Each structure stands twice: as C-alpha cells, then as structure tokens.
Amino acid sequence: MRKTFLQLSLDRETEEFLKQSFEKSSRVFVQIWHCFAKAFLSMFVTQTSINGLLRRGSMFVFSSEQFLALTRWREEDAPDRSEKRRLLDLGAGDGVVTSVMAKLFDEVYVTEVSQPMKVILAEKGFRILAIDEWAADRKFDVISCLNLLDRCDRPYDILHDMKTALKPGGLIVLALVLPFRSYVEVGRSDHTPTQELDISGATFEEQVAEVVDNVLTPCGYEVLSWSRVPYLCEGDLRQSYYWLDDAVFVLRPLRIP
C-alpha cells in the first residue's frame, strides 16, 4: 500500500470551500431557521432530504487538481477518444463533488435516492439514472462511488455492478469514511445493511488494509492509488465546518491472465 499512497495537501479549492463554510455558518438568522426547520422535518424525511430542502450541508471530498493527481486521468487520456467521455457519480447528493469532476467529461450521469437532491442535480444539468438501471446499458470512463458503501443496503452488489458498467480501461474512484460504520438511511428500519463489509480494524491504517484485502481484492479490483483526505461538510451555529477521515481509492478491475 505504501507504493500506491499519494500525499495530498491543502489547495485553493479546499480553502475556498472552507471560506464559504465560515461565511454560511456566520449567517445567524439563517442558521436559527435551519435549526427549527431540521427539528420539524426530521419527523418526516431523512437527513439527506432535509439538507436538500434547505439547500445546506454540502460536502467536499477532493479538488479538481487532487482528482487529477489521484487518477492521473486527463481529457486526452480517455480510453476511447472517438466516443463521448462519460462520468457516473453514484449517490451524488447535491452534486457539489460531482461538479469538481464534471468539467473533464462530455456527459455526466448521477444516481440519488433523495427526491430533493434529485431536483438540485437536475438544476445543475446532470442526467439522473434510476438506482436499479444505471448498470444496464451504458458504459462509463469513470465511475465515482464516494461515501456511499457505508450508507447502502447491498454494497457488494454495487462493487460488482461498477465493474460491468466500466468501459475497457475505465477507472473507479471510491471513498470510504474510516473508521467504517454502516448506517442505511433508506429502506431498512433497523438501519443495518443486508450485506456487511468485512472491515473491523482498530486504526485507520488497519482498516485501509482490510478494505483492500477483505473487500476490494476479493471483488476483483486493483488499487492504482489512494490517499487520506478530510471529508468536509458545511457547518452550523455550533461549528463552521465538520470533517471525517476519508480513504479515497482509485481502482481498476483486476486483469485476469
């Protein structure tokens, strides 16, 4: 894993996101309104949908330069330049992270469960695919699955389907919050997944090794590069921004001799 690790550092886009988070959290009356609205809406809809309705809680995983550094993928490097370059972002939320990658592609597709988030994604011009149809007939140059596997019911199915939906030579960009904790927001009353990922190490480094050895390699993936980044979220009155530790992996299907 040492050979594939890439050290990333704070850059302009990351600083800009933090600056915007500070500015939004300082709008006292807006934040007070959000507090009351969240308390009321939580009786009816998920936290993701609340964020969509209130247009708050945007996330940041990596900048465009960090994406390029991790993937080593540029426009001229697309596997087949005779075809349109396609990105698929699974569980795209409000599309803020999608937009970071979108400028490199001709067509951008997304999936999302939350209806309020779908409205935002449509406003941004992204093509929304049904969560049970995205792997059916299109092929993609890059598929991103950012902080989704710990929030879905059947993560192994997603890992399998991503391989079948890739163009030859395509890449998968996968992010996982570590330490790993599953919480299925939609479709499971007990919030536990049907398929449990075998990740249980005591430290970040141990869990990274388990992600590779217990999940990715058995599922037929090779790690090309990976990094540890802060998974940032816009804050509120109590705190200007929140963060978790993210492991970001760039993968390709294992080549069978």
CATH assignment at residue 235: 3.40.50.150
Q: Is residue 142 part of a domain?
A: yes
Q: Which of 20-24, 143-147, 164-168, 214-218 has the lowest mean pLDDT?
A: 20-24
- pLDDT score, position 74: 60
pLDDT tens figures, 146-181 = 999 999 999 999 999 999 999 999 999 999 999 999
Mean pLDDT in residue range 57-65:
94
* Position with higher pLDDT, 255 vs 227: 227
- Pick from 4, 133, 16: nearest CA to 64: 16
* Position with higher pLDDT, 206 vs 256: 206
Q: Is residue 118 part of a domain?
A: yes
Residue 52 pLDDT grade (very low, low, confident, very high; cuts 50, 70, 90): confident
- pLDDT score, position 81: 56
Q: Is residue 4 part of a domain?
A: no
pLDDT tens figures, 90-130 = 999 999 999 999 999 999 999 999 999 999 999 999 999 99
Chain center to CA of 100: 12
Q: Is residue 7 part of a domain?
A: no
Domain count, the chain: 1
> pTM of the prediction?
0.91
Q: Is residue 246 part of a domain?
A: yes
Q: Tell me, what amino acid is at 83?
A: E
Q: Which of 3-7, 96-100, 110-114, 237-241 has the lowest mean pLDDT?
A: 237-241
Q: Is residue 23 part of a domain?
A: yes
Q: Is residue 6 part of a domain?
A: no
Rounded-to-integer distance, Cα 56 and Cα 242, Å:
13
Domain of 151? 12-253
Q: Tell me, what amino acid is at 220?
A: G
Residue 198 pLDDT grade (very low, low, confident, very high; cuts 50, 70, 90): very high
For a pLDDT cut of 90, what percent of the chain falls above it? 70
What's the chain's length in residues? 257
Q: Is residue 169 part of a domain?
A: yes
Rounded-to-integer distance, Cα 257 and Cα 239, Å:
52
**The dihedral of CA 177, 34, 25, 91: what is its sign?**
positive
Residue 256 pLDDT grade (very low, low, confident, very high; cuts 50, 70, 90): low
pLDDT for residue 246 is more than 80: yes
- pLDDT score, position 115: 95
For a pLDDT cut of 70, what percent of the chain falls above it? 95
